[in-house]
Structure 1
Amino acid sequence: MASRDGPGPIIDTEPVPDEFSFGPFRVVTRARLLERDGTPTSLGSRAFDLLCILVNRPGEVVGKAELMAKAWPGLTVDESSLRFHITQLRRALGDSQDGAPYVANVPGRGYCFVAQVGRAASPPKQAFLGEGTPNPHLPVGPARIIGREADIVALIDRLTARRFVTLRGPGGIGKTTLAVAVAHKIGNRFRDGVRFLDLCSLKDPQHVVFAVASALGMFVPAGDPSSRLIESLKDRQILLVFDSCEHLVEGVARLAEQIYQHASSVSLLTTSRESLEVAGEFVLAIAPLESPPENLGSKAELAKYPSTRLFVECAVAAGRSPPFTDAEAKIIGRICRKLDGLPLAIELVASRLSAHGLIEIDELIEGRLRLAWRGRRTAPLRHQSLSAALDWSYELISPAERSLLESLSVFPGQFTLQGASALASDSHEPKETTGVLEQLIAKSLVSSRPKAGQPLFRLLDTTRAYAKEKLAASGAANAAGLRHAKYVHQALTPRSYEPGGERPGGWAHRAELLSDARAALGWAYSDAADYDPEFQISLASVCARLFVELNLLEECRVWAGRALAVSENALKDGATKVELLWAFGHAAMSTARSSKESEAALWRGLKLAQEIGDLQNQFRLLSRLHALHRRTGDPRSLLEVSLLAEAVAIEIDDPAALARAQSFLGDAYHLSGDQRRAWELQQAGAAADAAIPNLPVDHFASPRGAQNLSCTNLWLLGFPDQAIAVANRLAEPSSNSDLVLYCGGLCFAARIYHWVGELSRLEEVIDRLENYSRKHRFGPLLTGSRALRGVLHVALGAVDEGVKLLQPGLLGMIADRFEVHSGPVAIALAEGIAALGRPADALASINARIDATAAAQGDSWEMPEFMRVRGELRARNGDSSGAEQDFLAAMDLAERQSALSWRLRAASSWVRHARYGEAAAMAVAELQRTYERFEEGFDTADLRAARDLLQR
């Protein structure tokens, strides 16, 4: 921004352009601003003067004596001072693109600016910051207005067309600045000029007329002076600016309407926190400065948004030396969002950088300090701090408006009319609340905007902080917190999982209650709240549902866990406890580990649901237990819960539940190794789902979940192309709004892409899986994504990197009980170890996996592949007989499981290692028969490899 040393004058008889540009720099002379790539650069006053002198005469050597005379007018200085400031200038500018300095030293003569300079035409230089000749009837014009270019154009257009415009907005939004800037720009269009009236010092509305008359140099008699004033204005062409009208709104409104109606050559520009609501008035609402989104990328983006540009300029003016780092840019963006893009707030906070660091300021503005920080001593009292600006508004509203404003500060963000009514004091009727709210909106203390046909309201963050202080001081904060928590509880309770209830997916429009749910829980479990365990637990229960639907499972786990930790005797409602146990088990399984704690919570919930006869929640809990045991890869437990789910579905007699129960059973048979039976059940479940019109109740499970294992089932059965089609659907980002199920689908899609050799697609889904898992803190899935990346590295030949990921990844997946996806990891690890020249270690590794799997699951669905890989490693270790036994055993087991693709792999391995005699002929014949059983997938990796073997 401007220099830190003060705005020292530049004495020059030559016309000096308003702007220069060279390289990445821009110089605005009258604003004394130096920018690099749109970001203000700090430069001392004398160095700035020297830059302007030199850049105005590019390519010309300017003598040292002349430079000192112009930069230090009337003073005698030593040449060392000149050298010092030239050095400072060079350091600020750096070198040009060709590596040469912008300012060259010409020995014995002086200095020369050597870069190409662009100029903007300008009138002869004036030593002030306003436009043109100073107007004695106006405050000094602003040096530069950031982010209001469109507002200035709109205001000039409206004022020209309508004659009477009110700038409306909350305190600190920049109404006065904008009005003064426009008055300077267009004041010369009016024959009789412009008059500016700062009304903030007036107390009596009757005095407005006298203030206008005084500004016009008129004497008006006592009594009713309005008619005399109007009569004198009829022949004048003038712009009257009435600033800060909100405390005198009745008096200003009457006079402004009279002037508009009877003095047709007079234009009126008023600024107020509420509209005047009179004939002829056009209201122009001033919006906050645009702030960057949460994903602000780098410091270069600071210049794109008016709020951050203003912050940077004010910070530089306060002594903060640029440039800012990318990390600091993110903090600046966050600060500007917290300040709602309010110019006064940004200026006051940025000015504190001389005393605090950015991180400290970011933390401090969460409290009351931002309200107390003071700005310019010369500013009007109401603009010297945010607290003063809000005091000004607060003192102008009625007791009922103050009470409602304070209660509304409990809302952390947007709220509805129903919410406002719920937060109003018990003494307020709904109709009365509506009227009071309308007054707060009219007075710019509450903002309103429609969304989906329903108005939504909010307090600016600074207003909320101020009102919250007033609420605490009144002693009513606890009562308001309770009303808010009850409102949240009531708003979420109707979203039930009972038959005919709304689908969980229908909660999407309730997402606006998220911040309220967090605030309500924070209050209910705080020391400030009255201890009511029944309400605490019930509130946590309804909020847990919302967290699940919005994929905020870590929050769900924490709050459900806290509620369950409350004394058992405090909970009388069994259905509420069932809900909490379901939520905790589901969330813990997805975010922490599929641990015994998660499983125990689900079984406890199931037992309680059985005791109270809650069939719907029995099915929901069984669906979570099904998901848990599917992830652990435990087919026996999976079959047990699937059969229980089938029995409950029959009792419920709900077609959706019956369809899903069939899919559950299909998953159980798939993991136990009966691929044909699995396919039949999964197809029956899918067909039953498709036959249900609109799926009216989907609280049991997601139909997409049945597709996860169906893709691997299809591949094993010998339908690679169909498996790829299902995997592609699972990998679509919009395929499932339930992110846990979606990430589970990505894991199965990754298997298919690995098996068919589409490694680029494998990398895509691993990237997506890792990003989602990290963002939503899905711990087991994040571990799985890293292990799968190790699988990818080995497949690509980067064995060292792969093994480094696979070793901890496999241990982590076992610890997380994520075994269903650990098979490919164990195989890739063994193959990687062998590729590193340690075949014996590799063989020991796969043997350990086979023994563990056989002990836990028997002949599981992956056993044929484990045996084939062991055969490959035995052959590498010189055990040809053992290798052949493994290949034959793998083929036999694959045949019994209807796993044609496993059989093809085992036959291909046998051909590769049975090189001579009758064994080789038998192997080739077996591979030929297996290959001929395929009807599709001939371009996938295994079938291409088999075809090449047969051709050789």
Structure 2
Amino acid sequence: MRTTSESEGWMMAGSAAKRHAATNLPAELTSFVGRRRERADARALLSESRLVTLTGPGGVGKTRLAWRLADDLHRTFTHGIWFVSLGELSDAEWLPHTVAGSLGLQGRSNRTAPESLVEHLRQRDALLVLDNCEHLVDACAMLIDTLLRTCPGLKVVATSREPLRIWGEAIYSVLPLASPPRGVEESTALRQYESVGLFIDRARAVVPGFELTESNRRAVADICRRLEGIPLAIELAAVRLRAMSPDEIARHLAQHADILTLGSRTAPGRQRTMTASIEWSFSLCSTEERELWARSSVFAGGFELEAARAVCAADDEAVERMPDLLQSLVDKSILVTHRQQGRTRYRMLPPIRQRGAQHLQELGEFRNVRRRHRDWYVELAERAEREWLGPRQLDWIEWLRREQGNFRVALEYCYTEPGEAEPGLRMGASLLEFGMAEGLFRPGRLWFDRLLSQAPEPTFTRLRALRTACWWAAMQGDLARAEQFLDEARCILHQLDEQDTALIDQTAGFVALFTGDIEQSIKYLTAALHGFRARGDHAQCAHTLAVQSLSYTLHGDYRQAFEAHTECVALTEPVNELWYRSHSLWIAGLAVWHQGDPETAVSLENQSLRLKRLMNEQLGIGLCLEAIAWITTAQAPERAAELIGAAQNQWDAIETSTSALPGLSHLHEQAVYRVRDTLGNDSYEAAWRSGNQLTTAAAVRLALDETAGEVADRPAGSPSHTDLMTKRERQIAELVARGFTNKDIAGRLVIAKRTVDTHIEHILSKFGFHSRNQIIAWMTEQQALDTGARSPQHDP
């Protein structure tokens, strides 16, 4: 069983599958019980006020209510709804970075995070949901106040145990679910109370077919009364049905009423009730389970089995027993699970995580486990770097995306613990390529500034960290700082008496590309390539060749550019590498176009774009959209205008443009001039606006000529591909897409497993699929497409 009432940070899932392009709200994994009046009241408040703060004690259901409220309003906000989980964020300085990241802003510009948020939201009609503000209340208040004053179309829903106390705030107190008073014990009457409904719903997840009966109705009513209708407390009690009857649970609560005095004596009664419920769960865990509960509290944003074994296992025997121990905590609702990219991730709700952290301090293991956590993520980053050029590259990209919260926690340890900065620099240095792909420049450079100041020794680790910081600064357009990083790296190389200059030559060539000194860029990159070849470093050879190909193209040496591309593909294609190859294909398309072969050029750009889509690499997608538009201005001017508009949508989201790189901006300007001249101003602007309103997925399909007949392009209200399925088949397909097994689905829908098997066979047959993975991929895409087709103008 999984509890979901309070602080569902798992709902963000970092770069996990998003429900649709206009929001990062995920699909529900458990049913939402009750709260109709609260939803209506909160919606009414939000119609009158631009800030609504949902307040109440931990476990009362603030997060779930905020999520449901946002989901109810998904068509109301033209530019989307964004959910930001703050429960695992401890440093207020990182608040704006966390919000920006949740909105998809990649930090590729040199603006501060608050500036980027204001610029992005200033002209947008959007809803921002900030969850768990209480431990960052001052920082949240300041940020929200700034955004609301500067972004007139923005509204905010916040959840917090206390109000934010800023002008214009409407406070809505979230109360526990209604519980039956003493004397109300008839089944029909009991079912009218939301707390009873929640208990029954969650009980069925533990004991399929559970019903309110003559024999258990009094006990269920007593449980809900004693737990005061607090959703998380009720869910923790319901999970005990695996081993106890309702009567036994009720008797236990009655016999241990004194436990409600645990915690702060001045805390509100309901907060003590929540504390008591968690304490009861803690008391029923074995020593091993308590220790795992405590140690796993160091993770942020979830963790997987491999990480748990490395960080939480005390010995080899515990390593072997880890799967069983994790499952035991899942069964007790201490951990919640969800599937991401085919992997199971575990996570704690904030109130439960706080109890684990408390026990970790009591065990005297806090610093030791934090260090083990840090060491695991340093090694993870280094493994990713070693295996970047290889068939697992896409797996690594997805894995590193999932772990960004844990990287932040590991870097916090490196910064706050004396003498621990060097491992943090190792981690950052190893994430150069991933950071380039994800655009993690703004937060990455802040960490480098912190850690470089604490580890000034001229070591090879510092040199590699300066290299990564230099690349990221250049990508942000901060060329003065990039050259400072480069100069210091050169000095360290000299002090180390190091003869292998390939890394520095490569970096110098990259910086020269951005300063517009193309001849110097080619010179340095050629020297770097010689050094990497000499030591057999195929990954950096491929990286250098891709950059060198761009330098040759901007220099007008298209033959050399294509030769560099050919060599890059020869290194990358046999091992199924994607990132270097996709960049090289994009550049090769430009080179071939300049040589007068637009047909081959478009084919190369399409190949690049398909790889970029596979990686969900936003910068590369934007570059390919632009390139295809440039190449096709004569053949399809209206479509080219649409693609230019779609590319601008990408640039706005990731805070960059073709003007960041000298040599590309004039190609953009020439294309705009030609298309505008061909179509006329009015037709150009209409086509540009049409493209600018496309989702990324729809823009890619337009560029690849995949749009004819697609769901995203159908008129609102016309049938979608999912209409080919029955209602039950759609339910099952959605659950398959969320990672449920056939057995799980049968239990959830209260049907036989063989019935689920039959429905899945029908789905496979209807669409010509051969595996569940195809259903998962297809359903994920259809959800995105359906959202692209929704009209945002009307409230449902």
Give me the TM-score of the superposition, normalised by structure 1.
0.42
Task: Flag the structure with larger Rg.
Answer: 1
